[in-house]
Amino acid sequence: MPKRIIIADGIYLKFSGDEPICSCDGTHPKTRPGTLDPPANFRVKDETVNEDKVRHIMAQVRSFPGMPATAARLMPMLQNPDASAAQIEDVLKYDPGLTANILKLTNSAYFGLPSRVSSIRQAIMLLGWKRLLQLVMTMCMSAQMTKPLPGYGLSRGELWRHSVAVSVAADVLVKSLSIPDADEVFTAALLHDIGKLVLGEYVQEDLREIEQMVGKGISFEVAEFVVLGTNHAQIGALILQNWSLPQELVNAVSRHHDPDQCGHACRLSDVVHVADILGWMTGYGRGRNGQPVEPAFEVTERLGIGDGQMEKLAEKTRQEVTRLSGILT
């Protein structure tokens, strides 16, 4: 629980029981502009985060709807190498609306298939069952993620469009950088901002205080944390944990604004971190977050992203998102 606040012509956070995030001269060993690091000049005062508010937020997390039923039945198959097309088809046949939407997406320009797909079995044959499961998750989440979030400056459907754009960016990264064993990256990217569905109303209530901090050089994510005692990345991770999704996927959502937290097994976290920035660069879901910085240096090193490559990846992402325009409207 955060207990002390670092003031820097605004406010920053120190965690109870841990070393200060920054040293007394205002420097940070891993400082990079625009991240969770504070401005240079600050003083420290005692202040306690509103624990009642944190408890209320945690209650909202516990009551957050479970994973859509069809997705919940299919997700374990993603971990099962022996899953068959017949098993997937057997689950989807009880959800004709979802099946119709999956076929619509499968036939979109994004996949560029040579012939029209008219059945789930045919879609599995052409795309592979793991790709099909990703499409199921995409269509299952669309209803939950289209509501407006005025606290984040997101109109109806904007969170959904951003989430899909980040998923596409993650796919672009995996293909462009030849990243192996990346089956879960699409789902992690799709769900990276799901915590905003819980925190949106709280951000709206305290927006003036958050914006005052942002106006003094604090990033939106840190201001969100200081005011609310948590942020959308942490809340999103808790939701996915409650859904029993793989821990690496949970970690990727938790760390997507702060990859410095990653000590090992960073590949999924790194891809989502970069994909989130690429999604922003396409113009989808910018909201109040402001312009993100370049990806963390250690992330670009681990992934092998060279100088000037982000612009090329962003352009490729923009092209691919355009081909998905049918589900983004």
Q: Report domain extents, the chain.
A: 2-48, 142-328
Give 142-328's CATH code, choosing from 2.30.30.100, 3.40.50.20, 3.40.50.10440, 1.10.3210.10.
1.10.3210.10
Question: Tens place of pLDDT for every residue, the chain, 329 residues?
Answer: 343 344 333 333 443 333 334 333 333 333 333 333 333 333 333 345 567 888 899 999 999 988 888 888 887 876 777 877 788 888 888 888 888 888 888 888 888 888 899 888 888 888 887 788 788 888 888 888 889 999 999 999 899 989 999 999 999 999 999 888 777 888 899 999 999 999 999 999 999 999 999 888 888 888 899 899 899 999 999 999 999 888 889 999 999 988 877 767 788 999 999 999 998 888 876 666 665 567 888 899 889 998 889 999 999 999 988 887 666 55
Give the per-residue pLDDT at 328: 58
pTM of the model: 0.80
Rounded to whole angstroms, how far apart are CA atoms 182 and 268? 7
CA neighbor of 160 nearest in space, from 181, 139, 185, 136: 139
Angle at Cα 110 formed by Cα 257 and Cα 245, nearest 5°? 40
Q: Is 64 exposed, middle or buried (0-12, 13-18, 19+ CB in 10 A)?
A: middle
Q: Which distant-in-sequence residues (6+ apart) come within 8 Å of 254 by Cβ?
A: 233, 234, 236, 237, 261
Q: How high is the pLDDT of residue 13?
A: 44
